[in-house]
Amino acid sequence: MINGILVIDKEKGMTSADVVYHLRKVLHIKKIGHAGTLDPDVTGVLPIAIGQATKLIELMHQKNKKYCGAGLLGYATDSYDTSGKVVKTKRLTTKISKDTLQTRMQEFIGKIEQVPPIYSAVRLNGRHLYEYAREGIEVERPKRSVEIFAYNAVDEPQFDLEKGQETFNFEIECSKGTYVRSLVNDLGENIGVPAVMQTLRRTASSGFNLSQAVKLDEIISNPAIAKKAIQPIEVFFKDYQTIDLNENQWLKVKNGAAIALKTNAKKVAVRYNNKVKAIYQARGTIYRPELMLLQNN
């Protein structure tokens, strides 16, 4: 059985579910899932959990994500990206400097309340927001708390006097649940100019980045690439203190029993035969199982 995380560099035009479907088919694996949905128009890092690693999906969601992208100042849409219906325009007569963009971006750093785009998978009363949007039903979108760790302007903005528009590049590091489209839209509102996201690429997610990623087409053409590219479960726990189990401890862990460990860490990855078999959490002076990965061979 294959156990680990396969990092896919998702192409534009494909859903995250499409990637899982194709991988399940070509690798003949049933136990497989993705961590962190990417919109069809967004490219980049899509971690795919396989086998025992599917137990990690909730933990994978908790880690920060990084993006690079491009925004445009001059008009806004209902979807906050260029695929939507234009709802506001304003012709720019002078360039907005990189310094101005950077200063305004810094105002979003920290914990913020964010309103997701109407064309999003956020649920309201049991339905996705995009379902309301497609039916033309106006609803009050629920605010959500997210955290922005970095929001920076990259390179000099490109001002087009003839079109009265300006494009800018940016980089973002944020918590789970953040809609970058909303950040671009909100940046425009902060500046006083309608804005829309043009492109977006996820460069890191769940502790993995583009340097570890492979294209889906490469795997479809040569499935053997997947086995070479898969990241072992141990990589995900590289920031945890790891403790190797002796035979007696291993027998207890196999039965889900509590164990005594000589450490002050709140959580530890316990390992047997160089494979992480469980995550144990401190309960007073004793450690008890939080996540079992016994079949990680």
Q: What is the pLDDT of residues 198-254, one digit of tens each?
A: 999 999 999 999 999 999 999 999 999 998 999 999 999 999 999 999 999 999 999
**C-alpha count within 13 angstroms, C-beta hemisphere, residue 137:** 11
* In the chain, domain spans: 4-63+206-233, 65-203, 237-292
Q: pLDDT confidence of 132, banded at 50, 70, 90?
A: low
Given the residues 39, 81, 186, 217, the one annotated as active site: 39
Q: pLDDT confidence of 135, banded at 50, 70, 90?
A: low
The C-alpha atoms of residue 62 and residue 58 are separated, in whole angstroms, by 7
State the CATH class of domain 237-292.
Answer: mainly beta
Q: Is pLDDT of 170 > 70?
A: yes
Q: What pTM was estimated for this model as a whole?
A: 0.91
Q: pLDDT confidence of 190, banded at 50, 70, 90?
A: very high
> How long, in residues, is the chain?
297
The pLDDT value given to residue 39: 87
The pLDDT value given to residue 140: 63
Pick the CATH number of 4-63+206-233 from 3.40.250.10, 3.40.50.2300, 3.30.2350.10, 3.40.1160.10: 3.30.2350.10
The pLDDT value given to residue 133: 56
Which comes out higher in pLDDT, residue 256 or 139?
A: 256
State which amino acid sits at residue 289.
P
When pLDDT is averaged across residues 245-265 and rounded to a whole number, the result is 94
State the CATH class of domain 65-203.
Answer: alpha beta
Q: Tell me, yes or no, if 155 is annotated catalytic.
A: no
The C-alpha atoms of residue 110 and residue 264 are separated, in whole angstroms, by 30
| Structural contact between residues 57 and 43, judged by C-beta atoms closer than 8 angstroms | no
Kind plus residue range of the DSSP H or E element containing 292: strand 286-292
Q: Is pLDDT of 185 > 60?
A: yes
Judged on CB neighbours under 10 Å (0-12, 13-18, 19+), 11 is middle
User: How many C-beta atoms lie closer than 10 Å to residue 59's C-beta?
Assistant: 17
When pLDDT is averaged across residues 278-290 and rounded to a whole number, the result is 93
When pLDDT is averaged across residues 66-90 and rounded to a whole number, the result is 94
Q: Is pLDDT of 142 > 80?
A: no
Q: Is pLDDT of 126 > 70?
A: no
State which amino acid sits at residue 239.
D
Structure-token pair, residue 214: 């492979």
Structure-token pair, residue 267: 């959580």
Interacting residues of 150 by C-beta distance below 8 A, sequence separation 6+: 109, 171, 172, 173
4-63+206-233 and 65-203 agree in CATH topology:
yes
Task: Report percent pLDDT > 70 for the chain.
Answer: 92
Q: What is the dihedral of CA 162, 165, 167, 172, to 10 degrees?
A: 170
Question: Whole-angstrom distance between the N-terminal and C-terminal Cα of the chain?
Answer: 8
Helices (H) and strands (E) counted in the chain, each on its own, are 9, 17
